[in-house]
Amino acid sequence: MNLYDPARIPRSTIPENQEFPMLALSSWVTPENKFYIRNHFPYPVLPTNDWKLSIVGFVQHPIHLNYQALFQYPQITLPVTMECSGNKRTYFQPKTRGVQWEQGAVSHAIWTGVSLRTLLQAAGISPNAREVIFEGMDTGERTDLPGTFRFARSLPIEKSMHPDTLIALYMNGKPLPYKHGYPARLIVPNWYGMASVKWLYRIVATDQEFKGPFQEKDYVVYRSEADTKRRPVTLMKVNAAISQPTDQTIMRRGMHIITGTAWSGHGFVKKVEISLDRGKSWSLVRWLDPEEKYSWRRWGWDWHVPVPGTYHIMVKATDDKDNTQPLQAEWNVNGYENNSMPQIQIYVE
């Protein structure tokens, strides 16, 4: 362990919620022990020997695959950035309920597994299937409803049949760590993290709209209880984070490098700009990572500061669909999808 190697930032204990230490962004791939953790329930107890992944419902022949069986199918490897839809929640004003994530509920790893499409086809998915439901092994109580629940989410059939939607078995070249969903988890590129169900045990094709509370009550954007224009959380908005320097840092005159990362669920990030005059003028950063379909791109900007003073730094990312970050994200009751421009203040002496 490096002397200066910081760990994840805890936000809640049980369930465990921890964020990636963005100030220590040092590699394109987030190590498994730094990758952010977002749980709804305590960790599940895994079956010792008899775990099987079932694919049932609107399929011609339900299948039940053990861990080894999953490796019989072609394995696909994809680098994918995952962001919690509550990332940056703490920056909403007024504050919104829930885990007070700063900017580290986002990470990037390399996932290896079977294309979900391959398994759905192996089970003979029905042409009438409209959604696919993913059930995790994690269960627990909710504050708003009586009883015990299982974490479960659905995906539209189109996204389920996309060849890059994975049943991931490996993370960064090793079997999934327990905390990241061992033995198998869903990886839904471009979507916010709630879609990528961990500790999978059952996949159900259905002709109905799934009505579970993690689908219908949570992960829905609305501006007030009376708001009738509600929409589900799906694709990650274009977003960015500054890793160094951190806010309110005191620096010497001279040359400094401002670094960070940017991502979008709508495409790749084509542009990151920095402003030192509160948005009047913008400069382009240089890339530390190449363009990749589902990956964040780290960037750097050489900042020559000859004059002491207080500096205000704003960052704005734009993706290839021309989505760009707002100065302030749209406030919503549950504090989702905050993609406002990162801003820091620096003192140069």
SS3 for 216?
A: helix
CA quadruple 135, 107, 27, 300: dihedral, nearest 10: 150
Q: Taking the CB of residue 102, how many other CB atoms lie within 10 A of it?
A: 15
Least Å distance, CB 251 to a second copy, is 6
**Is the Cβ of residue 4 or residue 290 nearer to a second copy in the bound state?**
4
The DSSP secondary-structure symbol of 277 reads S
Q: What distances in angstroms separate CA 130 from CA 59, 165, 189, one per listed residue?
A: 12, 16, 19
Least Å distance, CB 305 to a second copy, is 11
Instruction: Pick the closest to residue 183 from 75, 66, 80, 72 (CA basis).
Output: 66
Choose which of 29, 52, 73, 98 interacts with a second copy (CB under 8 A): 98
Interface with a second copy, residue 100, by CB under 8 A = yes
**Is the Cβ of residue 121 or residue 345 nearer to a second copy in the bound state?**
345
Q: How far is CA 278 from the centre of its chain?
A: 28
Q: Contact region for a second copy (CB under 8 A) — 11-19, 72-80, 120-128, 208-216? A: 11-19
Q: Which two tokens stand for residue 214?
A: 């993690």
Choose which of 72, 77, 246, 328 interacts with a second copy (CB under 8 A): 246
Choose which of 6, 47, 163, 326 interacts with a second copy (CB under 8 A): 6
Q: How far is CA 231 from the centre of its chain?
A: 18
**Is the Cβ of residue 37 or residue 120 nearer to a second copy in the bound state?**
37
Strand 343-348 and strand 249-251: the pairing is parallel
The b/e string for 27-36 (b: 16+ C-beta within 10 A; e otherwise) is: ebbbebebbb
Q: Taking the CB of residue 159, how many other CB atoms lie within 10 A of it?
A: 20
Q: Which two tokens stand for residue 348?
A: 């140069």
**Is the Cβ of residue 25 or residue 204 nearer to a second copy in the bound state?**
25
| H helices present in 6-115, as ranges | 67-70
Using CB atoms within 10 A of its CB, is residue 173 exposed (0-12), middle (13-18) or buried (19+)? exposed
Choose which of 228, 248, 280, 307 interacts with a second copy (CB under 8 A): 248
Q: Which two tokens stand for residue 342?
A: 């990162």
Interface with a second copy, residue 3, by CB under 8 A = yes
Give the H or E element holding residue 204. strand 200-206
Size of the residue set binding a second copy (CB under 8 A): 38
Q: Which residues pair with 153 in a beta bridge?
A: 134
Choose which of 174, 229, 231, 349 interacts with a second copy (CB under 8 A): 349
CA 262, CA 31: separation in Å to the nearest integer?
A: 18
Least Å distance, CB 143 to a second copy, is 4
Q: Contact region for a second copy (CB under 8 A) — 4-12, 53-61, 182-190, 229-237? A: 4-12
Choose which of 77, 141, 330, 337 interacts with a second copy (CB under 8 A): 141
Choose which of 29, 31, 43, 212 interacts with a second copy (CB under 8 A): 43
Least Å distance, CB 90 to a second copy, is 8
Least Å distance, CB 347 to a second copy, is 5
Interface with a second copy, residue 11, by CB under 8 A = yes
CA 167, CA 95: separation in Å to the nearest integer?
A: 35
Interface with a second copy, residue 139, by CB under 8 A = no
Interface with a second copy, residue 224, by CB under 8 A = no
Interface with a second copy, residue 307, by CB under 8 A = no
Q: Contact region for a second copy (CB under 8 A) — 66-74, 94-102, 126-134, 288-296? A: 94-102
Interface with a second copy, residue 96, by CB under 8 A = yes
Interacting residues with a second copy (CB under 8 A): 3-4, 6-14, 16, 18, 21, 23-24, 43, 95-100, 141, 143-144, 244, 246-252, 345, 347-349
